[in-house]
Amino acid sequence: MIKRFLFSFLLVLGCGFLSFAQQKEISGTVSGDDGTPLAGATITVKGSKIATSTGSNGTFKINLPGKSDIIVISFTNYISKEIVVGNLTTFNISLKPAAAELENVVVTVLGFQEKADKFGTASSKIGAPEVVRSGETGLLQGMAGKASGVSITRSTGDPGAGANIRIRGANTITGASEPLIILDGVPISNSEIHGNGSSSTGTGVVQQSRLNDINANDIESIQVLKGASASALWGSRAANGVLVITTKKGKAGGLNISFSSSYSVDEINRKHPMQQIFGQGSAGRYSAIATNSWGDKISERTGGEDVVSGTAYFQGYQTGNKYYAVAPGTAANVHGGKNSKNTFADKNFDAVFGKGHFWQNSLSLSGGNDKSKFFLGLENLSQSGIMRANSNYIRNSVRFNSDHNFGKYIKFSNKAAFINVKSDRIQNNSNTAGLYLGLLRTAPDFDNSDYIGSYFDANGVEFRNRHRSYRRYLGDNVQPTFNNPLWTIFNQTANSNVNRFLLSSEVTSNPFPWLDLILRSGIDASNDGRVYFFPVGSAGERSVGSYRNEKIGEIEKNIDLIARATSALSEDLKGTLIVGANANDRRREILYAEAKNFLDNINLQNFILSSDANTNVINSLLHRSSNRGYTTANLEYKDQLFVNVSGALEAASTISNNFFYPSADVAWQFSKLPAFKNEKFLSFGKIRLAWGKVGVQPTAYNFVTTYETGVYNAYDEGLATTNFGGGYRLDNVKGNNNLKPEVKTEWEVGTDLRFLNNKLSLSMSYYQNKTTDILLNVGLPPSSGFTSQYSNAANMENKGFEADLKYDLVKKKDLNLQVFSNFSRNRNKVISLSGTGTIDLTSQSVSSRAVEGYQLGVLWGPRALRDDKGNFILDANGFPNVDNEQGVIGDPNPDWRGGAGFSASYKSLDFNILFETAQGGDISQGTKSVLYNFGTHEDVGKEITLTETLKNVNGVSFPAGTKVRGNIGNYGKGNVLLDEAWYTSRGAGLGAAAIREFFIGDASWTRLREVSLGYTLSTPSFKKATKFSSMRFSLTGRNLFLWTDIVGFDPEVNQSGVNNGFGQEYFTNPSTRSWLFTVKLNF
Amino acid sequence: MKKIFIIAVLASLMVSCSKVYEGQNVDPNNPTSVNAETLLRGIELANITVQVSHIQRITGMWMGQYKGAALLYKSLGEYSISGEESNDTWTYIYQSIAKQASVIREKLPSNKSYSGITKIIEANALGTAAALYGDIPFSERANDAFPVPKFDKQVDVYAGIQKLLDEAIVDLTPVSASAVISNDIFFAGKSTTWLRIAYTLKARYFMETRDYAKAYAAALNGINALTLSWKFFPPALVADGDFNLLNTLIDQRGGYLATAGSYMHENLLKAAAVGNRNNTKTNEDARLKYYKITGTAASTELGVAAKNAPMPLVTYEENLLILAEAGLRTVGFAEGLLQLNKLRAVLKSNLGLAAAPATGGTILYEPYVAADFNPGGIENKGSLTADKALMKEIIEERYVSLYGTIIPFNDARRLRKTENDVNVPIPFTTPTATQHPERVIYAQNEINANPNTPKPLPDLYLKTQVNQ
């Protein structure tokens, strides 16, 4: 710092002295470090406006005013170089690619760049090109598999769906589990807000992660700060790690223009196998109104037209076909009036799902001189999902970053972006108006084509716009019970329109050579307008129509004042001291209104549809503030030993008192010891040790018990006080005015090693952390008058190991081969919940929970009754019973995760491949369990001929030789027949009555996360012919192969979206794989 | 320079100040204090949910009055039940009713109407809990002094409930009959009506503890007119949140619950069934139709599951049938017959509904005479004594008339011990069952958080104390 200051100071003086000297012409060539000439590189004369650029062969000529002696050579994506001209007149200048340099730089939590080798804590850097290359439209998803200790879990494959990011396991139980995102020095929101119109586990659509608003093409680097020590300065918001994202800066030189365009084709990557052997009905008899498909054997029907009866009918608007009542089967004729042998499972599926695609165009311009630089990034992304309608994601963003030096002492940097995201979403999950639920429950012999039409009753009265589903084949009732999936995608809408403004501006002044003063402020303001529309006739309580309009406004303001002083205390000892103060304010306002019970069955999306009594408004405000004073001191001894000590004192509106977060780390480059001086094998070695404390803030407004309006609902019915003249009830959560932050204390030890002249690098870390005072709604016995109290009650620990390995197999001018891999393993343990039995993280009949002694998120639900030895306690017929007490039935936490890849480039060709794996870990297969019950799953569509006499769960005997529909099972007392009686009682289904542990599956997976092949045209002849400096074509495959034992869906989904709970799938919208073609042009 | 640093460090640390946020963490979205009167509607709605929702339906399935047709309800009907099913009901009993009632009484110490009414509702909720679960927290309930309330013996709970009702009677007796409380959605605070309900409830709980003489005595002061029955009349003005709860369930979970295939409908009410209840003086056709639940489409339900069909909490019919049964036991045959005939007179008049039910059907309930119960009489096909035959009819009448409440479940368990011969012979809902449920499993949320929950956890077939 001092040197730099002195240098520029001298330069200014020098310029003054030399101003009367003569002009002089110099020339030379500019090339990359591999020797390829760089066309279009800019050469400027420092301190003047004189500039030129290199020609197609990389050569340049420039006249130097006599006073000047320094030229600056810059080129996009390369590190600029300053050269003192001296007496020379010709130069061969080689520039290093920017990425190579960045690898060794760490951006600290305060936004300063430091040499990674001086760092005492583990951090992973994810390069922007890798994220862009992934073919993901979301930044978060694009980070998957690229760094150890970072796990990304998608919610679904829907366009724009959010993803959960977890660094080094879970650090809180019910608190915020997302890492803090620092964009250009200021925190921004990555919230996934469900709001009032949609829920996270049940009836709803997937929401977005706000981090995905950011255009990956604008990003320079993503730094993942994993440990407590690295992030302690952010106190109570840093317990889940910190992502430090830096956007691009303009580079001095001529105007650089880069344009890229990608087109992607997406398709569903896993389908649930469905049976098409047996029809709608039960007990082997056809019934057109049956819930299940345990009906007659379709192939045994007579064929031809169905025998219909009655005068009432439904006429579909799609085909014009009329549907009359079909008589159910009887003992004498199990088919009833049903003659048709047609099945529709595939047709029904293909009517809903097709190919998705997106088109992404990105343009960036950058340029400037040594005083002012700018970067302009524009993006348009337009994606349509694999559902044939109303599933899309459209993102437009503009970013303008600029830097300006005002004289010698003041620098100004401003980074601003405006983003608009529009999206249409499809209802999913445990939702009778959801897509998969209606589709996969549909009987195989039911054609969904006519989903809307008119019902004419026996008197000929017409009811228009009736919803026809397999449970209401005549549309004779406004309530379809389950949606026809075509209604779900065509007639219901759920859109979101986000406008977001991001600003980070920074003024740096250095009044003394040893001191920098930085004033940094930021704003993240977003507005999300969501509209959900369920026309009259949508399933569930929405059958009377529901129009929901929600406005979510979020604004985060942040300001930091930082002083940074550097001093050489002696020749061997250097020190830096940073002192800072921060104030942060977050405010979220939600205004929600719902109109239901439409006056008319029309599609106008407006509150005029309902009377006042049927309009309901909710508003809420969430306002949190905090301030911190912080300091950090670094000491460097002999450029070998680095010690860093920090502390932050924080006050926040959600806690009662101040809280202090200390941290310390040490890095020792032992390879600089004299003993290693001639060491050939080991090129670099560092040992690091770090310790720190970070926290999680309590949620707001928990100091006192409040009153709420009551809705009383014991099972899907409800009585609301608001409908009876209003009234309140004392909240069942007891207030607590003595809240502290959750505190995570972590230590880690690690090493960074490089071998064989830096070709092979290996980084390993072991960490242990313990989070104490974890906040949760501690269950109170309802008989005490409250059901819970939000308190600092639980303790949890994580122990883990991570490693990153990279090996440059070949590094030559024309050929580069590199392999890389990462590995992480985390063991979590919920140590204590202070007597509260378990904590629900999700609210389904199989829930993800915190249970003492287990890893966070274990799956809890109905299990089979067992004796002390763990054997089933069977009933008289040899079948397991349901245990009245539920328990842990699975653990969704993987044993380990890893990523491995290979990249190669040969001349203009480059190739990348990345595999990712998660091994161990369970998932609750809710869909499968229910489809077994409904009789639509392939597994329960089998007909077997018994070779022995078997009993079913009801004790009915089936003699050998009988042909029965079902499977043979054995729970320890010999073979038993698993038939309709079993699958529709304890054997499958939902709720607490089915033994759900039988549907816990091993969610281990390995996937070909991405593979890409690129070709770059930058030959002189090409440049001459086209005037482009380069053109690149690439083809990327995303998620092409998946190896897993799970059948029917990609285990990398999460029913509850971005949530602390995971490991559940229940009619969750499916995942995708894609092919992506990209052209990139540089001017 | 060091000094400057130290000063700067201290200055920055002092910036961190919690005082600036004082008052910011007060919830802007929910009130931190309200007038206690506004809690009453919530208590009343919670009690409706406790009495005639999920748990009632489960016991109704066990009693052969409904049939669990699909999915969860099918399993619940077949006696597969866990503590999760009780969570909400249990929470409503203690948090939404007992706790709020205590807040009201604490904040309105001199308002006798609120005191009396909340005690009656609380007694009703806790009485249901005692009947369903046996030993329950009572003496230490909803009281900050007892973070983990103990479980009181079922008989002590019943005694406590009687005391609570006595207190309610003391509170309400001096209150003018014309005093109006608009927050009371049932009777607008009419003290005389609430007093009658308090007495019928006393009678109900004396029946459960087999104090038949006390039950009879209390019932004499109980509900004495149809219009005084305590029922939930759903306004059904908006789409959800104010409908008949069966109707909402059917709307949400079509196909789960029906009456087709249930014992009461197939065996007792259908004219074609062997041993059905019809005779020369009785035709159950109208009740068969009114009680029918198709279960698949809410809007087609016209009977008990119609969107605005009333749901019974404590009724005139129940009071009459208490008088009938307890009267037969403690006064004599004539009293039993007299009260039964009063009930039949009620049925004769539109089944006791305000108007003839939309479901239609023949109504015939002529008064019985003593001879009808003699061996060979129309109500005594076998050779029972007249007293037994009358008892059998009264019990069966209770079973049918009190459809939609948990009373049939309570009766079945009460009589199973010593008088199973007069009990309604309900079949098992699943062929593999060997015994009938004797209770409901404690709420899982209570089990989780209260170490005083009985251990080992009583299973479904363990009789509660009063039925042992």
> A462 and A454 in contact (C-beta within 8 Å)?
yes
The DSSP bridge partners found for residue A864 are A882
pLDDT at A101 over 60: no
Residue B8's pLDDT band (cuts 50, 70, 90):
low
Q: Do A727 and B39 touch (CB under 8 A)?
A: yes
- Rounded to a whole number, what is the distance in Å from the CA of A739 to chain B's nearest CA? 11
Report the residue from A700, A726, A838 with minimal CB separation from B448.
Answer: A838
Specify the pLDDT at position A14. 34
- Rounded to a whole number, what is the distance in Å from the CA of B215 to chain A's nearest CA? 28
Report the residue from A614, A933, A993 with minimal CB separation from B239.
Answer: A614
- All residues of chain A having their beta carbon less than 8 Å from the beta carbon of residue B141 are 783-785
- Encode pLDDT of B285-335 as tens digits: 999 999 999 998 888 999 999 999 999 999 999 999 999 999 999 999 999
Please count the other Cβ atoms lying within 10 Å of the Cβ belonging to residue A1002.
15
Which A residues, 283 through 322, put their C-beta within 8 Å of a C-beta on chain B? Answer: 289, 291-292
Q: In what order do the strands lie in the sheet with A42-45?
A: A51-53, A42-45, A70-74, A81-84
Residue A157's pLDDT band (cuts 50, 70, 90):
confident
Residue A18's pLDDT band (cuts 50, 70, 90):
very low
Report the residue from A717, A727, A837 with minimal CB separation from B42.
Answer: A727
Burial call A49-84: b when 16+ CB within 10 Å, e when fewer: eebbbbbbebebebebbebbbbbbbbbbebbbbebe
Q: Do B30 and A882 touch (CB under 8 A)?
A: no
Specify the pLDDT at position A68. 66
pLDDT at A339 over 90: yes
CA distance A382 to A785: 53
Vertex A744: Cα angle to A739 and A748 (nearest 5): 170
Q: Say yes or no: A332 contacts chain B, CB-CB below 8 A.
A: no
Residue A34's pLDDT band (cuts 50, 70, 90):
low
CA distance B432 to A982: 13
Specify the pLDDT at position A77. 66
CA distance A160 to A156: 9
Would strands A682-696 and A707-708 be described as parallel, antiparallel, or unpaired?
unpaired
Q: Between residues A571 and A373, which one has the greater pLDDT?
A: A373
- Encode pLDDT of A716-744 as tens digits: 888 999 889 999 999 999 999 889 999 99
- Encode pLDDT of A838-884 as tens digits: 888 887 889 999 999 999 999 999 999 999 999 999 999 999 998 87
Q: Tell me whether residue B355 is exposed, middle or buried, using C-beta atoms within 10 angstroms of its C-beta: 0 to 12, 13 to 18, 19 or more.
A: exposed
- Encode pLDDT of A906-953 as tens digits: 999 999 999 999 999 999 999 999 999 999 999 999 999 999 999 999
- Rounded to a whole number, what is the distance in Å from the CA of B411 to chain A's nearest CA? 24
DSSP sequence for A317-366: TTT--EEEEEPPP-SS-TTTT-------HHHHHHHHB--EEEEEEEEEEE
Vertex A579: Cα angle to A578 and A584 (nearest 5): 120
CA distance A27 to A334: 94
Q: Tell me whether residue B96 is exposed, middle or buried, using C-beta atoms within 10 angstroms of its C-beta: 0 to 12, 13 to 18, 19 or more.
A: buried
Percent over 90 (pLDDT), chain B: 86
pLDDT at A19 over 50: no
- Encode pLDDT of A163-180 as tens digits: 888 899 888 988 888 899
Helical spans, DSSP H, in A701-818: none
pLDDT at A454 over 90: yes
Q: Say yes or no: A933 contacts chain B, CB-CB below 8 A.
A: yes
CA dihedral B334, B339, B340, B341 (to 10 degrees): 90
Helix axes B112-133, B191-208, angle to 10 degrees: 20
Q: Do A933 and B17 touch (CB under 8 A)?
A: no
Residue of B100, B238, B450 for testing the chain A interface, max A β-carbons within 10 Å: B238
Residues 6 or more apart in contact with residue A715 via CB below 8 angstroms: B53, B54, B57, B88, B249, B253
- All residues of chain B having their beta carbon less than 8 Å from the beta carbon of residue A837 are 447-449
Mean pLDDT for chain B overall: 93
- Rounded to a whole number, what is the distance in Å from the CA of A622 to chain B's nearest CA? 8
| DSSP H or E run through A4 | helix A2-17
Cis peptide bond prior to B456, omega within 30° of 0: yes
Place of tokens 């609570």: B164
Q: Do B296 and A579 touch (CB under 8 A)?
A: no
Specify the pLDDT at position B450. 94
pLDDT at A650 over 60: yes
Residue of A717, A791, A888, A954 for testing the chain B interface, max B β-carbons within 10 Å: A717
- Encode pLDDT of A627-646 as tens digits: 999 999 999 998 899 999 99
Residues 6 or more apart in contact with residue B35 via CB below 8 angstroms: none
Highest-pLDDT range among A62-71, A244-253, B191-200: B191-200
Q: Between residues B204 and A369, which one has the greater pLDDT?
A: B204
The count of CB pairs under 8 A between chains A and B is 346
Mean pLDDT of B197-222: 98
Nearest residue to B93 (alpha-carbon basis) of B120, B135, B122: B122
- Which chain A residue lies closest to B98 (C-alpha atoms)? A785
Helical spans, DSSP H, in B173-272: 191-208, 212-220, 245-252, 263
pLDDT at A421 over 50: yes
Place of tokens 């059907």: B361
Specify the pLDDT at position B79. 94
Q: Between residues B156 and A176, which one has the greater pLDDT?
A: B156
Residues 6 or more apart in contact with residue B282 via CB below 8 angstroms: B364, B365, B366
- Which chain B residue lies closest to A536 (C-alpha atoms)? B239
pLDDT at A475 over 90: yes
Q: Do A629 and B91 touch (CB under 8 A)?
A: no
- Rounded to a whole number, what is the distance in Å from the CA of A891 to chain B's nearest CA? 20
CA distance A846 to A1014: 45
Q: Count CA atoms within 13 Å of residue A575 on its CB side.
A: 12
Nearest residue to B406 (alpha-carbon basis) of B119, B136, B43, B53: B53
Residue A688's pLDDT band (cuts 50, 70, 90):
very high
Helix axes B407-418, B191-208, angle to 10 degrees: 30
pLDDT at A407 over 90: no
Vertex A882: Cα angle to A880 and A888 (nearest 5): 110
Percent over 90 (pLDDT), chain A: 66
pLDDT at B240 over 80: no
The DSSP bridge partners found for residue A281 are A286, A293
Q: Do A710 and B42 touch (CB under 8 A)?
A: yes
Burial call A155-170: b when 16+ CB within 10 Å, e when fewer: bbbbbbbbbbbbbbbb
Mean pLDDT for chain A overall: 90
DSSP class of A284: T
DSSP class of B428: P
Q: Do A596 and B5 touch (CB under 8 A)?
A: no
- Rounded to a whole number, what is the distance in Å from the CA of B162 to chain A's nearest CA? 19
Mean pLDDT of A706-722: 89
- Encode pLDDT of A545-599 as tens digits: 999 999 999 999 999 999 999 988 888 899 999 999 999 999 999 999 999 899 9
Nearest residue to A774 (alpha-carbon basis) of A861, A852, A704, A858: A852
Which A residues, 131 through 170, put their C-beta within 8 Å of a C-beta on chain B? Answer: none
Residue A108's pLDDT band (cuts 50, 70, 90):
confident
Residue B467's pLDDT band (cuts 50, 70, 90):
very high
Specify the pLDDT at position B333. 97
Residue of B4, B19, B25 for testing the chain A interface, max A β-carbons within 10 Å: B25
Residue A22's pLDDT band (cuts 50, 70, 90):
low
- Encode pLDDT of B366-396 as tens digits: 999 999 999 999 999 888 999 999 999 999 9
- Which chain A residue lies closest to B24 (C-alpha atoms)? A653
Specify the pLDDT at position A486. 97
- Rounded to a whole number, what is the distance in Å from the CA of B172 to chain A's nearest CA? 23
pLDDT at A9 over 50: no
Residues 6 or more apart in contact with residue B265 via CB below 8 angstroms: B259, B288, B291, B292
- Encode pLDDT of A60-69 as tens digits: 888 877 666 7
Q: Judge if pTM exceeds 0.90.
A: no
DSSP class of B182: T
CA distance B325 to B337: 9
> A414 and A522 in contact (C-beta within 8 Å)?
no
> B292 and B303 in contact (C-beta within 8 Å)?
yes
pLDDT at A11 over 50: no
Q: Count CA atoms within 13 Å of residue A937 on its CB side.
A: 24
Report the residue from A653, A730, A778 with minimal CB separation from B24.
Answer: A653
Specify the pLDDT at position A417. 97
Q: Say yes or no: B36 contacts chain A, CB-CB below 8 A.
A: no
Q: Do B88 and A713 touch (CB under 8 A)?
A: yes
- Rounded to a whole number, what is the distance in Å from the CA of B3 to chain A's nearest CA? 13
Q: Do B12 and A580 touch (CB under 8 A)?
A: yes
- Rounded to a whole number, what is the distance in Å from the CA of A881 to chain B's nearest CA? 9
Here the tokens at position A535 are 């026309």
Mean pLDDT of B209-227: 97
- All residues of chain B having their beta carbon less than 8 Å from the beta carbon of residue A993 are 72, 74-76, 80-82
> A155 and A1053 in contact (C-beta within 8 Å)?
yes
Report the residue from A727, A780, A845 with minimal CB separation from B147.
Answer: A780
Nearest residue to A845 (alpha-carbon basis) of A862, A822, A863, A829: A862
CA distance A75 to B117: 83
pLDDT at A219 over 90: yes
Specify the pLDDT at position A1058. 64
Please count the other Cβ atoms lying within 10 Å of the Cβ belonging to residue A784.
27
Which range is least confidently modeled, A914-928, B148-162, B236-250?
B236-250
DSSP sequence for A67-106: T--EEEEE-TTB--EEEE-TT--EEEEEE-BHHHHHTTEE
Report the residue from A620, A651, A718 with minimal CB separation from B21.
Answer: A651
Please count the other Cβ atoms lying within 10 Å of the Cβ belonging to residue A1027.
9
CA distance A737 to A36: 67
Specify the pLDDT at position B11. 52
CA distance B177 to B193: 8
User: Three-class SS of residue A1008?
Assistant: strand
Q: Which amino acid is at B131?
A: A
Distance (Å) of CA A151 to CA A132, A146, A390, A892, A991? 18, 9, 30, 13, 31
